Amino acid sequence: MMARMTVDGADLRYRTTGEGPDVVLVHGIARSLEDWDEQHELLSSQFRVTSVDLPGFGESGPPSAPNTMETMARAVLGVMTALGIDRAHVVGNSMGGAVAMQLAALAPERVRTLVLADSAGFGRTVTPALRLMAIRPLGRYLLNRPNTKQIYNAERGLYVSRELVTPERLDRGMRFAQRAHGAEVMLKTLGHMGNLWGVRPRWRRRLLARMVELDLPTFVLWGQKDLVLPIAHSESVATALPNATLHVFPDTGHLPQVERAEEFARLIQAFWASHGDAAARPAGSESTAGPDDVVAPDTAVEDAASSPLSLDADHDTETSDR
């Protein structure tokens, strides 16, 4: 079911499928709830799955105030409250991972587990295109003049597999890029999250410190060939969240929930089952978990570090929030 509701003055689009324990899915910057289509299909037989277009993105209306991690998290919480979702497995991709962590920071009693896929928050390095758009005049110029080449390059950079850059995804990307409020929402959201030097360290440190304090069950997944938030960020997971589980998908880009949809669904259900969610165990099975299903943090970091696409790790040595 696709529907709409108003939360804090913003007209939000959301999708709900299935019945059972609640799962809430949060997309990344300049993306939409369609990034979770495969997971709706794979999880809805056992869970009630809800995805949301964040304020100003996808087909949601513009936010009533500039997007920050807190305002976006509160928008998702508002949808959860309106739908009667008291507590959920919260899953976020890219910026949506940071929003998921912020949601947990604001209302930990509403979060059963966190699943963070190629999540913002673990490092400074980010694709040069996003850093350039943080220069307001240049960003405004580029965002107000979308063309087919820009849309193709943006979509192509998300996947290892060229086959996933479909006409449907390109058409949707152009449609969203041409929305009247799109450029301004993107610029203000980017300005909150980062600058020319990359992702701002101040909000990252504060948010990760809160996650350590809460110590919620957390599963971090990463695409080995992510060009947006590189695999080097995963090297920070063991330090930043020492009790988190980490899995690295080989030959995978920024959207593992799309590019490795079935494996992604299997892994997160195994993780949920290991934390007491009986619904995550398929009928006739004792458990979805297996010895090869998840990679222990130390092993995954070693695998990531050996990747030819690894960059220098961001060890958060910045002294300012430039």
Question: Could you tell me where the DSSP H helices lie in 12-147?
Answer: 37-43, 69-82, 95-106, 128-133, 136-143
Report the share of the chain in percent with pLDDT over 90: 63
159-191 per-position pLDDT tens digit: 999 999 999 999 999 999 888 886 788 777 776
Cα within 13 Å of Cα(187), Cβ side: 14
- DSSP-assigned letters across all residues of 139-186: HHHHHTS--HHHHHHHHHTT-S-GGG--HHHHHHHHHHHTSTTHHHHH
The whole-chain average pLDDT of the chain stands at 84
**What is the sign of the dihedral through the CA atoms of 300, 304, 306 and 308?**
positive
| 3 state DSSP class of 40 | helix
Taking residues 86-105, report their average pLDDT. 97
281-303 per-position pLDDT tens digit: 654 444 343 334 444 434 443 44
Tabulate helix, strand, coil % of the chain (nearest 5): 45, 15, 40
pLDDT at 299: 41
pLDDT at 196: 53
Taking residues 148-155, report their average pLDDT. 92
Per domain, the residue ranges of the chain are: 2-127+200-305
Taking residues 56-82, report their average pLDDT. 94
CB neighbour class for 59 (10 Å; exposed up to 12, middle 13-18, buried from 19): middle
pLDDT at 277: 86
| 2-127+200-305 carries CATH number 3.40.50.1820 | yes
Nearest CA-CA partner of 275 in 255, 294, 301: 294
For 112, list phi and psi in degrees, rounded to 5: -80, -50
pLDDT at 221: 98
- What is the spatial distance between Cα 90 and Cα 287, in angstroms, rounded to a whole number? 21
Nearest CA-CA partner of 244 in 297, 298, 304, 313: 297
For 113, list phi and psi in degrees, rounded to 5: -145, 160
Question: If pLDDT is split at 50, 70 and 90, which confidence band does 4 have?
Answer: very high
Strands 22-26 and 88-93: parallel
Selection from 94-103, 131-140, 273-282 with the highest mean pLDDT: 94-103
Q: Is 14 within 8 Å of 50 (Cβ atoms)?
A: yes
pLDDT exceeds cutoff 50 at 279: yes
For 65, list phi and psi in degrees, rounded to 5: -140, 160
Nearest CA-CA partner of 248 in 313, 208, 299, 308: 299
Taking residues 120-143, report their average pLDDT. 67
Question: If pLDDT is split at 50, 70 and 90, which confidence band does 121 have?
Answer: confident
